[in-house]
Structure 1
Amino acid sequence: MGVFTYVTDATSVIPPPKVFKAFVLDADQLIPKIVPQAIKGTGIIEGDGGPGSIKKITFGEGSEYKYMKHRIDVLDKENFIYSYTIIEGDAIGDKIEKVENEVKIEASPTGGSILKSTSKYYTKDDYELKEDEIKAGKEKALGLFKAIESYLLANPNAY
C-alpha cells in the first residue's frame, strides 16, 4: 500500500463562518441545488450527521461516476475544520483503498477566507497515482468551492 498526500489552497472574499456553513454544514441541500449536473443528491445513511456518520453522495448525470460514501471523522464548527474519509464508491475505483480529506477554513488578512485542503490517498498493492488523476480531482473540488462562492456572492442574504 502506498500513501500519497496532496495539499490545495483556495481563497475567497467571503468570511469563514459563511463559507463553512454553506460548503460544509448545508452542503447536502445547497450543492445539488447549484450544481445538479455534478451532484444529484447527498444524505446521511448512518448516524446523526456528526463524527462517525456515513454520507452517500449520488453524482449527477454529467459525472463519470455514480456514487461514493464517506465517513465524517471531524466536524469542528468553532474552528471551521471538516475531515472525512471516502470509504466506498466507483469514484475511488479498485486501486484506492480510501481517501482521507481534511478541510480547514481560515480567515484571510483581507476579511475573506483561505480554504486549506489536505488529501491522503491510500492505494492498494503497489499502485501509484498519476499526477493527472490527482489534478482532475483537485479541479473538481475547486470548481465546487467556486460554485458555492459564486452562489454566496449572488445571494448575499442566503447565509
Structure 2
Amino acid sequence: MAVRGYGSRWRWVTMSGGGSGWWWRSTPINVDQRLRGRLLDAYPVSAYRVILPYGRITKSARILPVSIEIEVASSFPADKVFKVFSDFDNIAPKVNPDVFKSIETIEGNGGVGTIKIFTFGDAIPFTSGKYKVDAIDTSNFSYNYSFFEGDSLMGILDSINHHIKVIPTNGGSIFKQTVVYNCKGNDKPSEDILKAEKEIYEKTYKAIEAYVIMTSVSIEIEVPSSFPADKVFKVFSDFDNIAPKVNPAVFKSIETVEGNGGVGTVKIFTFGDAVPFTSGKYKVDVIDTSSFSYNYSFFEGDCLMGILDSINHHIKVVPTDGGSIFKQTVIYNCKGSDKPSEEVLKAEKEIYEKTYKAIEAYDISN
C-alpha cells in the first residue's frame, strides 16, 4: 500500500506482489492532516511506503538482508591464521576442489578494488561469481569482499558481502566470517542454502588449517629499521635491482618474464654460487602499498628441492615509534611428508636477514 498526494488529493494504492513483478489498483481519495497521521501510525514503514504532499516527509520500505555467522577456533595465533587465509586462493582449490575449482585475479594488484572470479566445482549448483576486495586491514586481521556478479547471486540478490576478522584469544585465535545476502526484493535464500553455505566455509577453513599443519613449515624474519615504514617499503620495491648488487653470491639476477610488475607478474630468480640451487620462478600474489605488504610464491625451479609444491612469502613493514620493522614469513608447502631440514631453514633465514640489512646500508650510502 502507498499513499501518494498532490495538494489535498491523495491516491490510495493497494499493491500486491507475486513472482518478480508488482501490480496495483488505485482510487482517488481526500484526506486531511489527521487522517494522514493515522495512516502513518496504522501501517508500519517496514512494509509500506507513504509519501506526503510536496515531498516534505518520506518513509520508505526496507528490504532487510539475511546473514550467516561462521566461527572456527584455531590453535594458531591470529597473525599466522590471517597469513594462511591470505593464501586462500591457492589452498582452497586443493583442500575442497568440489566447491572451489579455481580462484583467479582478473583485475587489480591484490589490494582494495581488486576483482577476482570464483569458478565453482561440481558440488555447487552455481558456475561462477565475481567479487571485489573492499577492505584489507592486516594490523587488525580483517578482510572484506563482495560478490557483485554471477549465478551465485541466484537471480534474487544484489550482492553478497563477506566480512572476515581473525580475533586473538589466549589459546590461539578465532576465525570469524559474516556473510550478508543483500536481496533485490522479498525473495531470500532458503534456510537450506544458508545452512549449506555455512557448512561449506566451516569445512574449508578447518581443512585449510589441517593442510597447513600437515604440509608446511615456516620461518619468521624480522629486521628493525630506523627508517619509516613507507621508505622501507619503497626500498624493498626495488629489491630486484638492489639484491644482486649487495648480495651477488646469493642473488645473481632477478628478471621479469611475464607481466607488468603487478599481481600475476612472473619473475625468475637466478641464484649465485653460495646457493645450492640454480633458479626459481615466482608469481606476485598481493601488493598493498597502503598497508606496506607484498606476497609472492615460488612455484617452479630446483629451489623447491623436489619436495615442495610452493614457497609462499608474506612480507609486511610495520611502523614503530622509532622507525619500522621489516617482517617476512616464508611458508614451505610440502608435497608429502618430506620437509626442508633445520639447516636449510636456518640458512635461508640468515640469507634474508643479511640481505635486508645490506639493502638498508646500500640505500643510506646512495
Q: Do they superpose with TM above 0.5? A: yes
Indicate the percent of aligned positions where both proteins have the same amino acid: 34
Aligned length, in residue pairs: 157
Q: Secondary structure at the match of 1:31?
A: helix
Alpha-carbon offset, residue 63 of structure 1:
2.8
**Higher Rg of the two aligned structures:** 2
Matched-pair contact (CA < 8 Å) for 1:20–1:105: yes
Is it true that 1:34 corresponds to 2:92 in the alignment? no
Cα distance between partner residues in 1 of 2:194 and 2:81: 24
* Residue equivalent to 2:199: 139
Q: Quick check: 2:69–2:198 contact (8 Å CA) kept in 1? A: no
Is the 8 Å Cα contact of residues 40 and 58 (structure 1) preserved in structure 2? Answer: yes
Structure 1 window deviating more from structure 2 (54-63 vs 94-103): it is 54-63
Give the counterpart of 2:113 among 46, 52, 56: 52
Match of 1:12 in 2: 74
Match of 1:115 among 172, 175, 179: 175
Given that residues 71 and 202 in structure 2 are in contact (C-alpha distance below 8 angstroms), is that contact kept between their aligned partners in structure 1?
A: no
> AA paired with 1:41?
S
AA matched with 1:143: K
Distance 1:12 1:72 in 2: 24
Residues 58 and 67 in structure 1, CA contact (< 8 A), matched pair in contact too: yes
Query: In 2, distance between residues paired with 1:53 and 1:35?
Result: 23
Q: Which residue of 1 aligns with 2:141?
A: 80
Kindly provide the amino acid, as one letter, of the partner of residue 52 in structure 1. Answer: G
Among 145, 153, 178, the alignment partner of 1:92 is: 153
Aligned with 2:186: secondary structure?
coil
Compute the displacement of 1:36 (Å). 2.2
Using the alignment, how far apart are the partners of 2:89 and 2:67 within structure 1?
Answer: 26
Task: Say which of 44, 64, 68 aligns to 2:125.
Answer: 64
**Per-residue deviation at 1:5?**
3.1
Residue 153 of structure 2 aligns to a residue in which SS? Answer: coil
1:12/1:53 Cα in 2 relative to 1: closer, same or farther (>3 Å)? Answer: same
- TM-score under structure 2 length normalisation: 0.41
Partner AA of 1:69 in structure 2:
K
Coordinate RMSD, CA, aligned: 1.6
- Give the counterpart letter for 2:133 in structure 1: I
The runs of 5 or more residues in structure 1 that have no matched partner are none
Q: Is the 8 A contact 2:99 2:122 kept in 1?
A: yes
| Segments ≥4 residues shifted beyond 4 Å | none
SS at match of 1:82: strand
> Conserved in 2, the CA contact under 8 Å of 1:2 and 1:128?
no
SS in 1 for 2:152: coil
Instruction: Report the residue type matching 1:17 in the other structure.
Output: D
The TM-score with structure 1 as length reference comes to 0.90
The one-letter code matched in structure 1 to 2:110 is G
Displacement, 1:6? 2.9
Q: Deviations for 1:109-147, whole angstroms, at most 9, x for unmatched residues?
A: 11x210111121111111133322211111111111111
